[in-house]
Amino acid sequence: MINPNTNTMKKIFILPLIALMVACTTGEKDDEAKRAELKEYKKELSELKKKIEEIEKELSLNQKEGIINVVTTDVKQDLYEHFVDVTGQVKADQNILISPEAAGKIISIEVKEGDKVKKGQVLARLNTEMTQRSLAQVEVNLQLATTTYERQADLWQQNIGSEMEYLQAKSNKEALEQQKESLVAQLDMAIVRAPINGVVDDVIQKQGEMAGPQLPFARLVNIENVYITADVSEIYLQQIKAGDQVAIEFPVINKNLDAKVYRTSSVIDQGSRTFRVRIDLMNRDGAIKPNMLGVLKLRTFADENAMIVPSILVKKDFSGEFIFVAEDIEGQLRAKKRYIKTGIKDNNNTLVTEGLNVGDKVITKGYAQVVDGSAISI
């Protein structure tokens, strides 16, 4: 007979044994993964050590030979332009003060400020009462003189009367005709008309005031066509010509436009040592106003095959200006002092006129650490 307690005891001993076997199997698998991972890390470490040794070797060699690391830029030919900025003032040819041709009291003003007018349009009328009375009297006398002349002419053709009477009648008639023409002209001069198309910018006098040739009545302006003038230093006299392109900026109205130089003055101002340039402008929208200031950008130099280097690279000694270039000397790159001739300097750039060739490698970084003949590495 089997004892139940015996079976229970067997189960108690078998279960821990199975758990121990499973744990051992799992632990063996984890160890294998860790060994593989460790092997991979050692391999990477070995490769890193090799790279570190190579870099240390290169640095050691460079330090031993005194090699300086630099950056170079190849010399190229490109368009180079030099400009000078000057301030100019807008003007209008048709910006005029109008005065009557005759003297008299203003009896009516036909326009107001801001009105657009055409050439010949009536702006104001002056009192012409006295002139009209004189004209009426002359017309009466002219009628009588004309009748007298006609009768004397008929009699003279019939050989009746004296020649003196005929000539006197003729002279009297012609004198009155001339007097009438003069009075009619005076009446016309008492009417103030617009001499140009434009805008009434200012009515200076008022109705009832006395007007005359010496008293401005109104200002009339036409700004569809304006021009801008500026004074430029005489050192640019040979560089700026009529027909040259110019860029103009009007900062007040935030407007930019391109135009051409219309003319340059023939005289140098003795005080400022400048000459004047004029640029004509179309101003259909009327945005540009007389006396407005504009900035003119005038081109004084242009070269399509220019060689330009940063001005900071250009050094100077007792022999002249120079820069450092990289040259291969007996298999080793070295810094070479290259003497150059320069031209215009503008916007931190310098125009090189002699001493450089296309393809030369100019040292642009590290130039402060090298001397003539220094071993370099690009």
DSSP assignment letter at 311: G
Same domain, 73 and 126: no
Q: For position 232, what pLDDT does the model report?
A: 93
> What's the domain range around 344?
68-80+304-377
Same domain, 208 and 261: no
How far apart CA 132 and CA 109 sit, in angstroms, is 20
Q: Which residues, including other chains, have CB under 8 Å from residue 349's CB and lie 6 or more apart?
A: 80, 308, 309, 310, 311
In a domain? residue 25: no
Residue 11 binned pLDDT confidence (cut-offs 50, 70, 90): very low
Q: For position 28, what pLDDT does the model report?
A: 60
CB 364 within 8 A of CB 71: yes
How far apart CA 304 and CA 11 sit, in angstroms, is 101
**What percent of the chain has a predicted confidence (pLDDT) above 90?**
19
Same domain, 235 and 294: yes
**Which CA distances in Å does 320 have to 308, 342, 348?**
18, 10, 19
How far apart CA 332 and CA 327 sit, in angstroms, is 8
CB 262 within 8 A of CB 279: yes
CB 107 within 8 A of CB 126: yes
How far apart CA 315 and CA 274 sit, in angstroms, is 33
* Listed residues 272, 301, 330: the one ending a domain: 301
Residue 8 binned pLDDT confidence (cut-offs 50, 70, 90): very low
Nearest Cα to Cα of residue 218 among 108, 120, 109: 109
In a domain? residue 61: no
How far apart CA 329 and CA 331 sit, in angstroms, is 5
How far apart CA 345 and CA 211 sit, in angstroms, is 60
337-347: average pLDDT: 84
Residue 183, classified by CB atoms within 10 Å of its CB into exposed (0-12), middle (13-18) or buried (19+), is: buried
Q: For position 288, what pLDDT does the model report?
A: 92
Residue 72, classified by CB atoms within 10 Å of its CB into exposed (0-12), middle (13-18) or buried (19+), is: buried
pLDDT, tens only, 270-281? 999 999 999 999
Q: What value does the mean pLDDT of the chain take?
A: 82
Question: pLDDT higher for 373 or 1?
Answer: 373
Same domain, 229 and 194: no
In a domain? residue 34: no
In a domain? residue 8: no
How far apart CA 217 and CA 104 sit, in angstroms, is 12
115 residue type, one letter:
D
Q: How many other C-beta atoms can be found within 10 angstroms of the C-beta atom of residue 161?
A: 15
Q: Are strands 263-264 and 361-365 parallel, antiparallel or unpaired?
A: unpaired
Same domain, 153 and 259: no
Report the number of distinct structural domains present in the chain: 3
pLDDT, tens only, 131-154? 778 777 877 877 887 877 777 777
In a domain? residue 192: yes
Same domain, 122 and 183: yes
pTM of the model: 0.58
Strand partners, 257: 248
In a domain? residue 53: no
Q: For position 6, what pLDDT does the model report?
A: 47
Same domain, 199 and 109: yes
Kindly give the residue spans of alpha helices, DSSP state H, lying in the chain: 4-65, 129-157, 163-189
DSSP assignment letter at 198: E
Same domain, 113 and 167: yes
Q: What is the CATH number of the domain that holds 179?
A: 2.40.50.100
In a domain? residue 1: no
